[in-house]
Structure 1
Amino acid sequence: MKLRHFGIITALAAAVSFAGCAGGAGPEGKAFSDPYSEKEVKLFVTNLAFTDVTLYGITNGGRIRLGRVTGKKEVVFTLPLEFSSELYLEIDYLAGPKCFTERMIVDPGDHLDLLIQAENRTWDCREA
């Protein structure tokens, strides 16, 4: 497949918010409970483009379909994750290319933000 720049998405907004950074009580209101006892990663997606996309999460455990985000919408997905893992996202545009985010290490309980813009010149995408 031919690689080329395709200006539709922005970087996975490296705004990885760690659930444990806020401090305070754990998920059940217990001060000493493990804040990482969650077995999932939350992905907050904002699609500013008009094109619908299907998202996949790729970890050491394989490829998981997260779902579809229609144009000009916001959606929250959960990705099951039991331990720290390398993660990247595949953004499959309807009638368009497949784009991939950078790889990153995530932990259960992390919150990720993905912003899909109408124009951006920073990503290499593969034509479908």
Structure 2
Amino acid sequence: MFTLPQEDIDAIRQIHHRWIEFEWAGNGLAVLQFCTDDVRWLVPNAAMMVGKDAARPLLESPIQIVELVTDQIEIVGHDRLAYKTSRYTTRFTTPDSDEVLTAAGTHLWILHKQPDAQWKVALVTW
């Protein structure tokens, strides 16, 4: 299996950490800074969304996160291409109800290393 240099793995882990911080803070749009301009969003029961603007309605969703846990994070890649997988459990409420809902499963990011050496998420799916 291909392995990335530790500095690249650390950079991708930092993106993951900051992404979760923004979700916790209710600032979903902020995660777009970590994405390529043509990022693909493969969301269950929806058409593929292409680009940052296409994802805005999804990320502006007014849910209130009660709990967000990720584990079994794996980062693999080679050269300028990497993927990150993990398991997640998110407990949240919606504006329509105080009932706490749960979404759980696995997700995948595909990342590209940019010419400026920054990693950007090119595909998100769960």
TM-score, with normalisation over the residues of structure 1?
A: 0.31
| Structure with more contact order per residue of length (Cα contacts < 8 Å, sep ≥ 6) | 1
Query: By percentage of residues, which structure has more strand?
Result: 2
Larger radius of gyration: 1
TM-score, with normalisation over the residues of structure 2?
A: 0.31
